[in-house]
Amino acid sequence: MSVLSVRSLTKHFGGLSALDGFDLEVERGEIVGIIGPNGSGKTTFFNVLTGVYQANGGHIYLEGVPDDILRRKTHEIISLGISRTFQNQRPFNNLSVLENVIVGGHCRTRAGIFSALLRLPAGRRERDWIRGQALEAMSLFGDRLTGMKDMPAWTLSYANRRRLEIARALISRPKVLLLDEPTAGMNPAESMQMVKNILEINKAGVTVLVIEHDMNFIKKLCHRVVALDYGQKIVEGSFSEVRNHPRVIEAYLGKE
């Protein structure tokens, strides 16, 4: 049974096809790696999937939702159970680490912070509950985030910013979690720790789609790998099938 079913997804920017008839079936509980050279459409896929960009065509079905979710708004998609991290997201620097996780569940734009804070439940019990949820999500990373919960977010290392992003995405209790380059800026030891963290999230029942350039990370983490080039799926299968496939090698050689 697919938790996510993507059919003929297409996104143009002017004359450029960033996604060109992309199809993907994801089974519940899978960890799927998405690879491909720079500009192959990986981030665009996440953007279209989460309603950040409007697709030009295609269909997206999510388990338990009768209708195509393609035209839904970002906040609706989050509440239906798809949550994500961004490739280059910066935290709200003047909010604390904990506040960043709390607010992240409610908004994605700087302009929206204030209204998001206003929308937070006013009652003490509800506030405590949300705080508890945030601390629980943060505790996935041991004391790396919880130990800094009251510090302003600008004091976080790159690695901790990536962890913050994930904690924030978990607040909405997603069925499907989308991670866009979660180990950017991490050293090899931190990346391997991130493999363990994501495996733990997955074990708790979350299906994971992860974009990453680090092939060792993909190999250790993913059940299945999908390779994109020019907005199309060129190969999918096990890590070794995909990584050594002539079309994948050619796609990377052509650009890097």
The answer to whether 50 contacts Mg ion (rule: CB under 5 A) is no
Residues 6-45 close enough to bind Mg ion by CB under 5 A: 42-43
Residues 6+ apart with CB under 8 A from 156: 91, 97, 148, 164
Choose from ligand ADP, Mg ion, none: what does 44 bind? Cβ within 5-8 Å by kind. Answer: ligand ADP
Cα separation of the two ends of the chain:
37
The answer to whether 13 contacts ligand ADP (rule: CB under 6 A) is yes
Residues 108-167 close enough to bind Mg ion by CB under 5 A: none
Choose from ligand ADP, Mg ion, none: what does 83 bind? Cβ within 5-8 Å by kind. Answer: none
Select from 8, 29, 38, 119 the one that contacts ligand ADP (CB under 6 A): 38
Choose from ligand ADP, Mg ion, none: what does 168 bind? Cβ within 5-8 Å by kind. Answer: none
Stretch of 10-18, 162-170, 188-196, 232-240 lying at the interface with ligand ADP (CB under 6 A)? 10-18
Residues 186-225 close enough to bind ligand ADP by CB under 6 A: none
Instruction: Give the count of residues interacting with Mg ion (CB under 5 A).
Output: 3
- From residue 200, alpha-carbon distances to 29, 105, 152, 234 in Å are 12, 20, 27, 30
Residues 76-115 close enough to bind ligand ADP by CB under 6 A: none
Using alpha carbons, select from 45, 33, 35 the residue that is nearest to residue 255: 35
Residues 43-62 close enough to bind ligand ADP by CB under 6 A: 43-44
Nearer to ligand ADP by C-beta: 42 or 168? 42
Select from 3, 4, 9, 18 the one that contacts ligand ADP (CB under 6 A): 18
